[in-house]
Amino acid sequence: MTNLVSKLPWNRASVLPWVILFFAALNVIFLGGKRRAFGSFVAEMRRDYPNITLTELNWIGDSYAAVGYMTSGISIAIILFFKRRYGMFQFMGAIWVLVSCVTSSFVPNPHWLFLTHTLFHGIGSSLIISTVGLVVNDHFDSKHPYHILATTLVSGGSVASIIFVTLFASLIQSYGWRYAFIILGCLYFIVNASAALFFRKSNNQVEDTNKKTVSCRCEGHIKIIHIPLLCLWFIDRVMTSVVTYGLLLNLTDYMYRTEKNLVRSTTLTTLFASGEAITYLIGATITAITRDFFKDKLRYILLGTSFAMSICLIALEYFKGIISVCYILCFLAGFTLGPSITFLFPAGEELTRLPGHMAYPISLAGMGFGMLVSPLLTAKIAEIFLYKWFFFVQGCLILIKVASILAIILILHFYDDKFQPESYSKFNNSNEVPIEENPKKESTFLLNEGNKKK
């Protein structure tokens, strides 16, 4: 089958990278859409199982993504060890996601979802997002004119939220959450498995088998001075993840307390996700036209939009009694969140001063850790105080994110020249370690040449 696909016209060298990018973006959209729309499952399960706390349901909702993100470094290492067999690992991820959805529909109670959904789907997500990140970085490396566009497109989970939030709610309302799992499992398998037919490493990609070369590259990239940047960027990703998924998983439940119709209860979630999606579309369009418009500007964009988001969330706490104002503020909160999600990959490179394949796992680990602690800082507050102070706390958490970005900007302003990979530059365009010249051989050659002249 793979040989047949390789003969098709879209596998030409000039076309294949864009086909790969299309399927990579599609996979990210579907995986991201599920994370953002799982609040409909949370709201429905809370009614069916009132003895299960909202915090537990939140953990069920985002723990699978946390497992996927936090193990992405291991998955990337495995994929690289097996010589970048992207198609094979993509298909393995598709199988795990299908098994997860099917088995989740037969669980006796939601607690079993920690096995069938958190673990199985987490393994599948880890394989898929790692494969997607590596294959896109292979074909659109940092020197490619459309590098920022490509890495932006594979951060497009927010786009699916516009459709997926309503789709999930409609499926659950029409067929129940168990059958919804089966339908979604089949849909996801088709999307994930089809990408496996096209994912392959770039012809220009050469494996580094020389240990000395790899050592030199690592020493050239990572320095002690990187540690403050990595810690601050990790905090930024944690806070981003805590607030993002805290809102997405609980806004539907927030409205479902007074609204009997599940689909109508997703209005705030849809508006929040729509704002995030519009930012993605604007960013992708500008990048496609200008190529590098956002280069070295992302840290300032993230600082300004994050501060604006904190203002929106704090204001939402005081105006949540006015529904029309709530709609506007939720949309604006999503819109100002957008750049922090949309530019995940290129922002990680810019703010850590590390190449994409090294910054990406760190970014995902921070997001994954944020998902793990998110229920304690979001759902627990909603449960104890019945959503009082819920939005205010989220706004304050975003201010921590603002402080982290500001600290990174200051470090880069005063010490940016310290992050230049001097030792790496020698090997930047070569996959071989320079061979030390033999001085004896050189002197013998010169002596022979001298004798000839005589």
| Structure confidence by residue, pLDDT tens digits, 291-337 | 778 888 889 999 999 999 999 999 999 998 888 999 999 999 999 99
At residue 402, the pLDDT reads 97
At residue 284, the pLDDT reads 79
> Are 354 and 137 within 8 A, CB to CB?
no
Dihedral sign of CA atoms 408, 411, 412, 417 in order? negative
Residue 227 lies in a domain: yes
Confidence of residue 218 (pLDDT cuts 50, 70, 90): very low
Residue 210 pLDDT greater than 50, yes or no: no
How many whole angstroms separate alpha carbon 43 and alpha carbon 58?
A: 10
Q: What is the domain range of residue 384?
A: 12-201+221-416
Residue 75 pLDDT greater than 60, yes or no: yes
At residue 179, the pLDDT reads 94
The whole-number average pLDDT for the span 28-53 is: 84
Torsion from C-alpha of 94, 96, 97, 103, nearest 10 degrees: 140
Residue 259 pLDDT greater than 90, yes or no: no
Residue 422 lies in a domain: no
Residue 145 tokens read as 């004119």
At residue 431, the pLDDT reads 38
At residue 187, the pLDDT reads 94
- CATH code, 172: 1.20.1250.20
Place of tokens 């086909």: 19
At residue 395, the pLDDT reads 95
> Are 148 and 94 within 8 A, CB to CB?
no
* Alpha helices (H) in 38-156, listed in sequence order: 39-48, 54-70, 72-81, 86-104, 113, 120-139, 147-153
Q: In 10 A of CB 420, how many CB atoms?
A: 11
At residue 160, the pLDDT reads 67
If one compares 412 and 424, the residue with the highest pLDDT of the two is 412
At residue 185, the pLDDT reads 94
Q: Quick one: angle between helices 226-256 and 39-48, nearest 10?
A: 50
Residue 207 lies in a domain: no
At residue 158, the pLDDT reads 67
Residue 186 tokens read as 């089949």
Q: Among the listed ranges 157-166, 363-372, 429-438, which one has the minimum average pLDDT value?
A: 429-438
Cα–Cα nearest to 380, from 250, 239, 236: 250
Query: What phi, psi does 371 have (nearest 5°)?
Result: -65, -35
Total residues found in the chain within this entry:
454
* Alpha helices (H) in 206-343, listed in sequence order: 211-221, 226-256, 267-290, 298-319, 323-342
Note the Cα 100 to chain centre separation in Å: 20
At residue 83, the pLDDT reads 87
| pLDDT above 90 coverage of the chain, percent | 34
Confidence of residue 189 (pLDDT cuts 50, 70, 90): very high
How many whole angstroms separate alpha carbon 142 and alpha carbon 150?
A: 10
**Number of separate domains in the chain:** 1
At residue 438, the pLDDT reads 45
At residue 101, the pLDDT reads 94
Q: Among the listed ranges 127-136, 182-191, 255-264, which one has the minimum average pLDDT value?
A: 255-264
Residue 403 lies in a domain: yes
pTM: 0.75
Residue 158 lies in a domain: yes
For 139-155, how does the pLDDT look when each residue is reduced to its tens digit (9 = 90+)?
887 777 777 777 777 76
Amino acid at residue number 450: G
CA angle 40, 42, 46 (to 5 degrees): 120
Residue 445 pLDDT greater than 60, yes or no: no
Confidence of residue 36 (pLDDT cuts 50, 70, 90): confident
Residue 7 pLDDT greater than 60, yes or no: no
If one compares 215 and 32, the residue with the highest pLDDT of the two is 32
> Are 72 and 365 within 8 A, CB to CB?
yes
Residue 12 pLDDT greater than 70, yes or no: no
CA angle 352, 82, 125 (to 5 degrees): 60
At residue 42, the pLDDT reads 87
Confidence of residue 11 (pLDDT cuts 50, 70, 90): low
The whole-chain average pLDDT of the chain stands at 82
Residue 146 lies in a domain: yes
Residue 258 lies in a domain: yes
Residue 216 lies in a domain: no
Amino acid at residue number 103: T
Residue 195 pLDDT greater than 90, yes or no: yes
Confidence of residue 432 (pLDDT cuts 50, 70, 90): very low
At residue 437, the pLDDT reads 42
If one compares 308 and 167, the residue with the highest pLDDT of the two is 308
How many whole angstroms separate alpha carbon 350 and alpha carbon 298?
A: 7
What is the per-residue burial (b if ≥16 Cβ within 10 Å, else e) of 249-264?
A: bbbbbbbbeeeeebbe
For 270-293, how does the pLDDT look when each residue is reduced to its tens digit (9 = 90+)?
899 889 889 888 887 887 787 778
Place of tokens 């927030």: 254
